[in-house]
Structure 1
Amino acid sequence: MKVVILSGSVYGSAEEVARHAESIIRAAGHEVRHNPRVTLAELQAFAPEAFLVVTSTTGLGELPDNFQALYSQIRDLLPAAWRGLPGGVIGLGDASYGDTFCGGGEQVRELFVELGIREVQPMLRLDASETVTPESDAEPWLAEFILHLNA
């Protein structure tokens, strides 16, 4: 299966989780594309069959700057070819921010609904106030995600 991993990161943690996810999903036998600076045209040319989005949250629950433009382009275009595809979201944040905890991930989940992408399992919420190893903390969730892709 062709899996695209999109990522939005401020300080690099989400990027590290995305790179780790890329190696795990590839080791499971899938074709994986992860480029934090991917364009919409490159994304469409890859013709993804599944989506994983790994994003941190900034400010008052917004997506990181490096993911904003692509997110907006996808939202404006709403590619019909992606309807019905499986997807998953890993959100990084800090629970001490209350209602905006993992707000970036929640925005991606809303976009999945608009696109018709099926979330195959609940979003993983990684709390920066509780973990210093988000990459390894994501592994059990990623194992389950891969099972859904293989089903």
Structure 2
Amino acid sequence: MGTETDWVYRVFEPHGSQGWRPYGSDPERWRGTITADDSSEGPQYALSLVLVDLMTEWKTRGLHRAKHVRVCLWRDEEGDEADADAIVELRPSLHAELPRGCPIRLVYADPAPGVSEGSGLPAGEEGAYTPTGNPIPPGRGRGGFRHGP
């Protein structure tokens, strides 16, 4: 392998009949770039890092279920949603409580190509950190976040 790909991500939240808007009170916090080894798991790895960070944030805030969000992922640079290489939408179950050992119960609405439903969330390398500064536990994969577009 030896080569890397930049995956640009952005998180969106529903905004009624207007569609989707950037997520949160500080939208730039949920927008950035993840560098990962070129492989068929690159998009899945990048999406997993973003999802784990979202789940950690929600758990830290004391939320008992996931929020409805959509994560779009593009290779190299951000584009329109129609141009996204992968899109994962989380829809919370109204009756699901967060399991003790797992930060969030995920529901993939329409898994993106290469992201299998219920595939689990691979962790990053030791010493890697998410956009909000949470450490990524040792595991498979390589990469990291860069803030901003």
Higher percent of residues as helix: 1
Higher percent of residues as strand: 2
Alignment TM-score, normalising by the size of structure 1: 0.30
Alignment TM-score, normalising by the size of structure 2: 0.30
